[in-house]
Amino acid sequence: MSGPPNEETAPQPTGIVERLVRDDVDRKRFLKMAGSAGAASFGAFVLAACGSSSSSKTPATTAATTASTSSSAGTGDVAIVNYALTLEYLETEFYGKVIQAGLFKGKVASLLKEFGAQELTHVEALKGTVMKLGGTPVAKPEGKFPVENATQVAELAYTVENLGASAYLGQAANIQNAEVLAAALAIHTVEARHAATLGTLVKKSITPDGAFAKPADMSTVLAAVKPFLA
């Protein structure tokens, strides 16, 4: 009679995060690729790092489909990256309209302009990633944002950036390609830093969820951004 399975014979988890924890070779490769994002252009990193696979070639969605899809339907790396791309399109447009409105001056205006430029870099990187994976980038949605006064805009920016960070965190466990996961986490941390900086501007918590950030699923995020879709 055989004894209980030991650690070597027992079934092992197959998720990317679990694999990275257990496999030293995969973990070192992941960290090397993730680190390279800071040394070079993030867009170039994504294009160079993301290899295509059959599991990642999910048909891309349109902006309208993405806005109405449920979290359970958003599977596959291409669909996840297109979902992130939709959010980044909206953030880029939002910051563009804020700068255009001229509601902020000096250092704050420069900071918001820098945030907008970084969101645009995310857009280009994500578009490149979708194409590298064999998909078609989602169409740019038309946004509508209340840009009436500085206080309102700053609070909305704080909300939007926190939502973006939660959205990336919410999809981390669903990503199948390790390099795509590295890219997503590289963007996630920037969104979180944007949110924390804006928190100091509007005198709100820089860690609204406490010691551990809370992920948001796709349906929750899409419901939250729906009012900003034209």
Q: Looking at residue 75, which CATH number applies to its domain?
A: 1.20.1260.10
Domain containing residue 192: 16-35+56-228
48 belongs to a structural domain: no
pLDDT per residue as tens digits for the range 20-72: 545 555 545 544 544 443 333 333 333 333 333 333 333 333 333 443 333 33
Query: Cα angle vertex 197, ends 194, 199, to 5°?
Result: 110
Number of domain units in the chain: 1
> How many residues does the structure list for the chain?
230
51 belongs to a structural domain: no
Rounded Cα distance, 178 and 172, in Å: 10
Is residue 157 within 8 Å of 92, Cβ to Cβ? no
43 belongs to a structural domain: no
pLDDT of residue 230: 85
124 belongs to a structural domain: yes
pLDDT per residue as tens digits for the range 1-25: 555 555 444 444 445 555 554 555 5
State if pTM tops 0.75.
Answer: no
20 belongs to a structural domain: yes
41 belongs to a structural domain: no
210 belongs to a structural domain: yes
9 belongs to a structural domain: no
